Structure 1
Amino acid sequence: MGLFDLFKKHSELEQMYDLDLIEDTSDRIYYKKLAIATCVNLIARTISQSEFRIKKKGIVQHDEFYYKMNVKPNRNQSASEFWETFVYKLIHDNEVLIVKTDTDDLLIADNFYRNEYAMMDDVFKDVTVKNYTFRRSFIASDVIYLEYSNDNLSRLVNSLYTDYGELFGRMLEFQKHNNQIRATVDTENVNPKDPEKQSKMQNFIDNMYQAIKNKAFAIVPQQKGFTYNEQSDRASSSVEEINKITNGFLDHVARALGIPPALVRGEMADVEKSTRNYMTFCIDPLLKKVKDEFSGKFIEKKDYMNGERLDIRRVSYRDLFDLASAVDKLVSSSVFTGNEVREAAGHERSDDELLDRHIITKNYTELEKLLEGGES
């Protein structure tokens, strides 16, 4: 008899096999989703705090674009919700599409089909947002479309999880086995043909089991002809090995996204260095992708050539007062003007003319003047 014949003949065995498979993998899938959600949500929360603005000759334009990007992109989402969804789809799905409606709302597509062309604009069809599917098609020049990387993150994580999932499953089963309560019950003078006595005995065993399972201290009354013998292995065990496996998987996902593993694990040692690397190698490259795509769609070529720029002011991990000494040196050494420093710090230029002048403190002078006995 073949294996498939056995399943056909015993349908209950086939059903048991499917249920065991589902139950066995559910816990492992949870940890995979947790690792992805931890990393992606961290990036989404960081970018959602950015400020998107267009500058003309260094002056921020508080126009319709500024309102849509930073306040209300559409009637159902705030800007922070919009950008969190944007980043999650970009990283998790490897691509994201934003379309503009007739009412100038910006919507993030849940599903779409893309026709790619070499010499013409790509065409996006069957664009679906929530439960609504657009009947018309959109061309590439009329939408915002970004791809995160060449490799799909889900495919990468699934490949990595093939090995980690098997290892994690075996460790989980081992820990369950070590901590399992196993016991035998010996009964005497119980007539197997007497259903009433069997029922009473079974109820007693069930209540005893629940007491042992749910209570820290369980008292079991002794019964004549009834003996309870616990066979469990009381060897001490811990979940430290399981935590090492889950943290190892989380570390690999974090590295794939450019996040320092110490940051997602919440380690406080040298947190400033980890945060700096996170902003430099994860957030800034992602914002560069966004900036390039939005600049090409919202700024005309002639305006761009005349100095109009899209500026993204990301959240800073350092307090402004921490930069006070460095700002003083930059300005007092005459290397930068006050307005140049303000722009570098993410603030708007001031109308004060003094902030456009190069100044130098009295103790800065040339070496030749010092040798000539000049004032220092």
Structure 2
Amino acid sequence: MYDFDLIEDTSNRVYLKRLAIETCVNMIARTISQSEFRVKKGKDVVYDEFYYRMNVRPNKNQSASQFWQTVVHKLIHDNECLIIKSDSNDLLIADDFTRIEYGLVEDIFKDVTIKNYTFQRSFRASDVFYLQYSNEDVSRMITGLFSDYGELFGRMFEFQKYNNQIRSTVDLENVNSKDPETKRKLQKFIDDMYDAFRKKAFAIVPQQRGFVYEEKSNRASGASVDEINKVTNGFLDHLAKVMGIPPALIHGDMADVEKNTRNFMTFCIDPLLKKIKDEFGGKVIEKKDYLNGERMDIRRVSYRDIFDLASAVDKLRSGGIYNGNELREKLGDERVDEPILEEYVITKNYTETIEGGDKE
């Protein structure tokens, strides 16, 4: 009996951490994967190989949405993501690589591995797209935060199980414990009895001579299920704040949903899109082309319905602040070749002078 394992260490509830991380990361990944990545020359969008790779089929095995979701997952989980361009113009996400940093010349990436293939050649920084999520390793921060929350959650969870556990003892009299067959029959009877108590609403167990079963269950006061959920939500809230996600948005609260969505797009999605825009724009667009007006542009998903903005758009147009094509760009649509949309118009009520007279 001294060899029995009576204590089980269950404080390390890894699934709590995985659940919280995947909830936050998937929310960011789903949002970014709906963006449109493009290059603009002046007012025109360039539809070329780069546009196709970024928005339709980056490589032979992934669609654009799958590709960008994978990028976001690696970027947040590993704090960095390396994307290389193959000889066939495919964009490939590296699973593993070694970065050699230099102060005055380009960094070198070697031992680049994609699934089961490792490149024998090295890549210069100008030949790849390298994204870094934060100066601090987010994974280390999450692990440190989880060490306390995981232990607390594990203890509360185990106490709740203990509080509802059926405990019993069995007294045996005149049983030959050295007889293997007797021990086997006795153990089978105890197992069958336990299964009957655990699985059936009504269980009838025959009494045996020399066999006394007694329950020792005693409900104790402890953490309720609601308190356990509060610990889970507390860890999720801290993790969401680290990533710039309003906790109310994670929990699906409907109060101030527009305000929380705006904060999510401003403080979480836009900074990530800015990193992508700067990295890809600096590698795809030459310096002379950039100075001539060529730009990397990312059109992210809109969280407001166009019809909700109709009144505001009408004011901007009728007040002469924007012309029609500029408003189309603000709304996420492309310009159209229509002369009237290039004109600035001011309605009559905006032309009145301060004295109230009409301006001729």
Q: TM-score range by the shorter chain?
A: over 0.9
Name 2:103's counterpart in structure 1.
118
Q: Distance in 1 between matches of 2:346 and 2:201?
A: 75
Q: Distance in 1 between matches of 2:321 and 2:309?
A: 16
Name 1:4's counterpart in structure 2.
none
Name 1:3's counterpart in structure 2.
none
CA contact 2:176–2:182 (8 Å) conserved in 1: yes
Measured against aligned partners, the alpha-carbon deviations of 1:1-60 in whole angstroms (never above 9, x if no partner) come to xxxxxxxxxxx97x969x945xx255x111111111111111111101100011112111
Report how far residue 218 of structure 1 moved: 2.6
Q: Does 1:283 align with 2:263?
A: no
Q: Distance in 2 between matches of 1:197 and 1:271?
A: 67
Name 2:35's counterpart in structure 1.
50
Alignment counterpart, residue 350 of structure 1, candidates 320, 336, 354? 336
Q: Matches of residues 328-347 of structure 1 in structure 2 within 5 Å?
A: 328-347=314-333
Report how far residue 270 of structure 1 moved: 1.9
Calculate the aligned-residue CA RMSD, in Å: 2.3
Report how far residue 200 of structure 1 moved: 3.6
User: What amino acid does structure 1 have at the position aligned with 2:190?
Assistant: I
Q: Does 1:311 align with 2:297?
A: yes
Sequence identity (%) = 66
Name 1:168's counterpart in structure 2.
153
Q: Distance in 1 between matches of 2:343 and 2:251?
A: 46
Q: Matches of residues 181-200 of structure 1 in structure 2 within 5 Å?
A: 181-188=166-173, 190=175, 192=177, 198-200=183-185
Q: Structure 2 regions of 5+ residues with no counterpart?
A: none
Q: Matches of residues 17-56 of structure 1 in structure 2 within 5 Å?
A: 20-21=8-9, 24-25=10-11, 28-56=13-41
User: What amino acid does structure 1 have at the position aligned with 2:53?
Assistant: K
Q: Which moved more, 1:165-174 or 1:65-74?
A: 165-174
Report how far residue 227 of structure 1 moved: 3.3
Name 1:147's counterpart in structure 2.
132
SS of 2:109 mapped into structure 1: strand
| Cα distance change of structure 1 residues 71 and 183 upon mapping to structure 2, 3 Å threshold | same
User: What amino acid does structure 1 have at the position aligned with 2:109?
Assistant: F
Q: Matches of residues 210-221 of structure 1 in structure 2 within 5 Å?
A: 210-221=195-206
| Cα distance change of structure 1 residues 133 and 199 upon mapping to structure 2, 3 Å threshold | closer
CA contact 2:243–2:268 (8 Å) conserved in 1: yes
| Cα distance change of structure 1 residues 123 and 191 upon mapping to structure 2, 3 Å threshold | closer
Q: Structure 1 regions of 5+ residues with no counterpart?
A: 1-11
Q: Distance in 1 between matches of 2:181 and 2:132?
A: 70
Q: Which moved more, 1:71-80 or 1:266-275?
A: 266-275
Q: Does 1:77 align with 2:55?
A: no
Q: Matches of residues 237-276 of structure 1 in structure 2 within 5 Å?
A: 238-276=224-262
Q: Distance in 1 between matches of 2:201 and 2:284?
A: 65
| Cα distance change of structure 1 residues 102 and 195 upon mapping to structure 2, 3 Å threshold | closer
Name 2:307's counterpart in structure 1.
321
| Cα distance change of structure 1 residues 189 and 368 upon mapping to structure 2, 3 Å threshold | closer
Q: Distance in 2 between matches of 1:51 and 1:285?
A: 16
Measured against aligned partners, the alpha-carbon deviations of 1:242-295 in whole angstroms (never above 9, x if no partner) come to 111111111111100000111112222222211111001000011011101111
Alignment counterpart, residue 217 of structure 2, candidates 204, 226, 232? 232
Task: Name the count of aligned residue pairs.
Answer: 358
Q: Does 1:367 align with 2:350?
A: no
User: What amino acid does structure 1 have at the position aligned with 2:152?
Assistant: L
SS of 2:213 mapped into structure 1: strand
Q: Distance in 2 between matches of 1:193 and 1:319?
A: 79
User: What amino acid does structure 2 have at the position aligned with 1:311?
Assistant: D
| Cα distance change of structure 1 residues 359 and 241 upon mapping to structure 2, 3 Å threshold | same
Q: Distance in 2 between matches of 1:154 and 1:361?
A: 56
SS of 2:341 mapped into structure 1: helix
Q: Distance in 2 between matches of 1:92 and 1:183?
A: 46
TM-score for both structures, normalised by structure 1: 0.89
Report how far residue 201 of structure 1 moved: 3.5
Name 1:298's counterpart in structure 2.
284
TM-score for both structures, normalised by structure 2: 0.93
SS of 1:367 mapped into structure 2: coil
Q: Distance in 1 between matches of 2:193 and 2:215?
A: 12
Measured against aligned partners, the alpha-carbon deviations of 1:164-206 in whole angstroms (never above 9, x if no partner) come to 1221222122112212110122345645566655544432221
| Cα distance change of structure 1 residues 196 and 65 upon mapping to structure 2, 3 Å threshold | closer
SS of 2:349 mapped into structure 1: coil
Q: Distance in 2 between matches of 1:352 and 1:143?
A: 40
| Structure with greater helix percent | 1
SS of 1:252 mapped into structure 2: helix
Q: Distance in 2 between matches of 1:306 and 1:192?
A: 93
Q: Does 1:104 align with 2:81?
A: no
Report how far residue 110 of structure 1 moved: 0.6
